[in-house]
A and B are shown apart, each in its own frame.
Chain A
Amino acid sequence: MGFFTPWFLAGTVAVGLPIWLHLLRKHRTNPLPFSSLMFFEQHIQSSIKHRRLRYLLLFALRTALILLLVLAFAQPYIRRNILPTGRTGEVAVLAIDNSLSMRAGDRFERARREARATIGGLHPGERAQVLAFGQRVQAMGEVTDDHSALNAAVESIQLSDTKSSFAELTRAVRSIANSLHLPLRLHVYSDMQQSGLPANFNDLRLNADVRLETHPLETKETPNFAVENVVAPRRVYENGKTRVLATVASFGAPKASRTVSLELNGRTIETKQVEVPESGRASVEFLSLDVPYGRNKGDVKIDSADSLAADDTFYFSVERADPRRALFVREAGNDAALGYFKTALEASGQSAFAIDPATVDQTANLNPAKYAFVVLSDVSSLPGTFENELRTYVRNGGSVLIALGRNAAVSNQVPVSDARVEAARYSGREGAMFQSAAWLDTSHPSIQNDNRWDDVKFYRAIRINPGSARVVARLTDQTPLVIDQQLGDGHVMVFASTFDNIDNDFPVHPAFVPFIEQTARYLGRLDSGPSSVLVGAFGELRDSKEVGAAVDVVDPRGERVLSLAEATKAQNIQFEESGFYDIRRPNGRNELVAVNADRRESDLTPASADTLTLWQNTANGTGGSDPNAANGPAGATNAPMSVWWYVMLVVLALAVAESVLGNHHLSVDKEAA
């Protein structure tokens, strides 16, 4: 027995009050003269003894009352052996792993078989619930004692391509325990992959009234080969061979030679042999991918000959398209900026954009709407019609990149954005009178992958008031260097210097190429995402302008994922299977998404027994299958149980008894008074 708040025991000094009142305080009995004692008899002494006895009883009651009250505040607890079979109302929770790794061999079937055996062993009236868990936890039915319903729930569990997450299972079980307010006995049927355990072990903490019983389907590591990753361009704009790089991984397997095949639209393009080291990785490079126009389904396969075939194929999608056009407007004779810009864009590899150069005078009859984005390279003024066209173009979602130089300083106003030029900062090339980029917003898409601007020298910069626009980069004198302004649905990016290697040396600096490429992709709204995503990832189906339009999604099995109502409302979709998802948008922006299972599932190494024991020990109700945790009889656990409530009940009973007894004494007093 112990106390949760033992300092309240200091209140026992209050026992001195009834002791003083009843025992220490002298009850002086003054002799009282009475006319005659002929009507009093000696046997009345017994009644006085009774009265004294009651008096002592009252004293004992009051003393006990104070002591128990102090005891209640001290919150006593006793250590009680909790027998595994002594828990009333215990609900069995059967959690079956349906992650990708359960496809190996007959693991999933064995898990279901063991779950059915557990259901068959339930006591009559003992309730249970079936869960399926992978990356998410899915309740397969209500809590019931109907064995047929439980067996049907087990049968209804389907294998998935998701990654197992024991942390998610633990969170769900905690939630169930909190909602049911009943002790739980958690049975986990899984291959207990090490990779399914969370980084923070605290995420596996179970409630005190949950007992964990694991049913590991594998206790030793199973060798496995998998195509771990494929690097392929998502879009191809040029004619010619495309490079594809695949990584083959070995998990617990000895060194072996594997045949790796590259397929496109079901046709084998190239096959190679690769030596995969023991528990290592090998890369395979394919240079023979000739991508036809349109969206293509590609994959890399190996002949693994292992028990888990689901990870032997890695899907990727590749799209062949013509480069998109971009308009580059400059003053006549200022071709240096065009040259640097175009070279930088082409130097980025697959050129998604083709530059259409134009002088200011040539823009009068141009319609910017057909361009992916427009560059205004240090122009003084634009024809009014073209500028109006540009404004409309931006409001409708188009993008403009404006470089400011001496011509812009003369006009005193930034085209399209109408921002005022506040000053032109010029620093001479002699000496060290240049400025550099002092601060970069690396979260902006135009510079997020390359922020090494430290050596870039800026000699001239046009200072404009950014207003509410987002400042992406600043010079050392805090002049905004790169500004991104949202106008309508489009963007206007202002570069407060030029691209001509005169006002700065940025074009000859290595950071220029990625800046131009990323800015072009950002302004041209070219998604440069990977060629494949993981199972469980989300894909965007529509933007704010496409409200009400139906989006059609076809899953790898060729079935429509969304109902008619969902097709007009759903903003995104979660990819739950590996394979190709065909997303058909109403604006023609169709997409083929390759989805692959998380390759951490390929590592079939089971968690160690110590780890599982630790997990079981996170719940106080454990001990059923763990011999180390049991220190009492037959697996009983020694848990503290607060007896505060019982003490308070006794206090209440004593208070009532004290009131009755005390009132009896007082009733005599009232008449005598």
Chain B
Amino acid sequence: MLQRFLDPATLASISGLDLIAKTVVDGFVAGLHRSPDFGFSQEFAEYRAYSQGDDLRHVDWNVFARTDKCFLKRYRGETNSQLLILLDTSASMSYGSQPVHKLDYARFVAASLCYMAHGQRDAAGLIIFDEDVANYVAPSTRQGQLFRLLHAIEEAKVGTHTDFTKPFVHFQNFLHRRGIVVVLSDFYEQPETIIRTVEPLRYKGNEVILFHVLDPQEIKPKFREPVLLVDMENAREAMEVSPEYARNQYRKRIGQHIDELSSKARAAGLDYFLMDTGRPLDEGLREYLAVRKGRF
């Protein structure tokens, strides 16, 4: 039932981005409670016999009353992590054959991650970029940070073409603390270039997640007849494409690109996740949480 609310088409009908994020995360978390495998801070971890010097605040007095022995109740430690989201707003991100185009989908994901991080009191930040950095919200846990993030996401405009070099250099300048870096992009660039640009972040101890946002029509294009395709990032570039080519050679090439990017990312210690805009958002959130859990 709740899965229905994670459907991109359903979310698109919700006007406010904060409400979208809340709907996604709450629905997603509610779904998690059914799973015994997941849990995070403020959770009970174990009992341990009291030893001298331990803080008496952690003694479980109920157990002491029943057994006359002191046991300490241990919890998973509350941690604060830093989440930085890099949202690609290049022109290619505005493509969409579905009701929700790629940029909207990426917005939903970014908003949901911000909402989730805010709930966990993680410091969340945002960089919106295309060929340059368009907007930057520094990671923080201050009051009103969530609304700043959501506002920045809401205000993100479609830019020109993608250039990973500039925003990542910029990001490295601002990054002083280790954390989780989420890159939301369609990665229309050679995999070597992408990995070469992103890989330095990993050296500084960051967990980097590449969310490869693609439209179903980009993965498996289907045309009724030959079409004249115009590059959205370069309007002067156009090409007539036959359905047969789109059905055969193109699929093979995009598949090779995805496989290559995925394998090179994993080889570089980066997490890679292909986000199909035709599929629900929870898969992206699940990936994020898996990474965050593994981090602690």
Q: Which of A35, A36, A47, A672 contacts B223 (CB 8 A)?
A: A672
Which of A29, A35, A44, A51 is most buried by chain B, counting CB atoms within 10 A of its CB?
A: A35
Of listed A42, A47, A671, residue having the most chain B CB within 10 A: A47
Contact of B228 among A32, A36, A38, A41 (CB under 8 A): A32
Nearest-neighbour CB distance to chain B for A30, whole angstroms, equals 7
Please state if B229 and A40 are interface contacts (CB–CB under 8 Å): yes
Q: Which residues of B contact A31 (CB under 8 A)?
A: 228-230, 238
A-B contact count (CB 8 A): 90
- B151: min CB distance to chain A, Å: 26
* Residue interface bits B236-259, CB-to-A below 8 A is 1, else 0: 011111111101011001100100
Give the residue of A30, A35, A45, A47 whose beta carbon is less than 8 angstroms from that of B244: A47
Please name the residue on chain B nearest to A49 by beta carbon: B242
> Is A673 in contact with B238, judged by CB distance below 8 angstroms?
no
Establish whether residues A672 and B239, one from each chain, have CB atoms under 8 Å apart when the complex forms: no
B95 and A33 contacting across the interface, CB-CB below 8 Å: yes
Q: How far is the CB of B219 from chain A (nearest CB, A)?
A: 11
Assess the A37–B244 pair: CB atoms within 8 A.
no
**A47 CB contacts on chain B under 8 angstroms:** 242, 244-245
A32, B253: Cβ atoms closer than 8 Å:
no
Q: Check: A432 CB closer than 8 A to any chain B CB.
A: no
Partner of A29, one of B95, B215, B240, B250: B240
B188 interfacial by beta-carbon distance below 8 Å: yes
B224 interfacial by beta-carbon distance below 8 Å: yes
Across the interface, do A51 and B244 meet the contact criterion of CB distance under 8 Å? yes
B293 contacts chain A at the CB level, 8 A cutoff = no
Interface status of A668 (Cβ within 8 A of chain B): yes
Known contacts A42-B239, A48-B242, A37 near B226 by CB under 8 Å: no
Evaluate whether A38 and B188 lie within 8 angstroms (CB atoms) in the complex, with A31-B238, A32-B229 already known: yes
Please report the total number of A residues contacting B with Cβ < 8 Å: 25
What is the chain A residue whose CB lies nearest that of B257? Answer: A39
Is B287's beta carbon under 8 Å from chain A? no
Q: Is A34 in the interface zone, CB < 8 Å from B?
A: yes
Q: Does B154 contact A (CB under 8 A)?
A: no
Which residues does chain B contribute within 8 Å of A39, judged by CB atoms?
250, 253-254, 257
Complex alpha-carbon distance, A27 and B93, angstroms: 30
Question: How far is it, in angstroms, between the C-alpha of A36 and the C-alpha of B226 when the chains are bound?
Answer: 17
Give the B interface residue count (CB, 8 A).
35
With a CB–CB cut-off of 8 A, which chain B residues contact A48?
226, 240-242, 245
Closest to B187 in A: A36
CA distance A121 to B243 in the complex (A): 71
Which secondary structure dominates chain B's binding surface?
mixed
Do A40 and B250 touch across chains, with their CB atoms under 8 A apart?
Answer: yes
Check: B131 CB closer than 8 A to any chain A CB.
Answer: no
A40 to B250, CA, bound (A): 7
A668-B243, A671-B247 are known contacts. Are A35 and B218 too (CB-CB below 8 A)? yes
Instruction: Tell me if A669 counts as interface (CB < 8 A to partner B).
Output: yes
Q: Which residues of A contact B82 (CB under 8 A)?
A: none
A673, closest chain B residue (CB): B224
Chain B residues positioned under 8 Å from A37 (CB to CB)? 229, 231, 237-239
Given the complex of chains A and B, what is the CA–CA distance between A233 and B244 in angstroms? 107
Expressed in whole angstroms, the Cα–Cα distance for A673 and B222 within the complex equals 8
Judge whether A36 and B92 touch: CB under 8 Å. Answer: yes
**Would A35 and B240 be within 8 Å (CB), given that A51-B226, A671-B222 are in contact?**
no
Chain B residues contacting A40 (CB-CB under 8 Å) are 229, 239, 241, 245, 250
Q: Mark B70-105, 1 if CB is under 8 A from A, else 0.
A: 000000000000000000000011010000001000
Which residue of chain A lies nearest to B101 when distances are taken between CB atoms in the complex?
Answer: A35
Chain A residues with CB below 8 A from B93, complex form? 35
B224/A35 in contact, CB under 8 A: no
| Chain A, Cβ-Cβ closest to B252 | A39
Q: Does B227 contact A (CB under 8 A)?
A: yes
Q: Are A29 and B224 touching (Cβ within 8 A)? A: no
B233 within 8 A of A: yes
Q: Contacts A34-B95, A35-B102, A37-B239 given: A672-B231 contact, CB under 8 Å?
A: no
| B12 located at the interface, meaning its Cβ lies under 8 Å from any Cβ of chain A in the complex | no
Of A27, A41, A44, which is in contact with the most chain B CB atoms at under 10 Å from its CB? A44
Contact B186 A34 (CB under 8 A): no
Q: Which A residues contact B (CB, under 8 angstroms)? A: 27, 29-42, 44-45, 47-48, 51, 668-669, 671-673
Q: Which 9 A-B pairs have the closest CB atoms?
A: A35-B95, A35-B92, A672-B224, A36-B188, A34-B229, A44-B245, A39-B253, A48-B242, A672-B222
Given contacts A51-B243, A672-B222, A672-B225, 7 further A-B contacts (CB under 8 A): A30-B228, A31-B238, A35-B92, A35-B186, A36-B188, A40-B229, A51-B226
Query: Would you list 8 pairs from A and B whose C-beta atoms are within 8 A, ordered by A residue?
Result: A31-B238, A34-B229, A37-B239, A39-B253, A42-B239, A48-B242, A668-B247, A672-B243
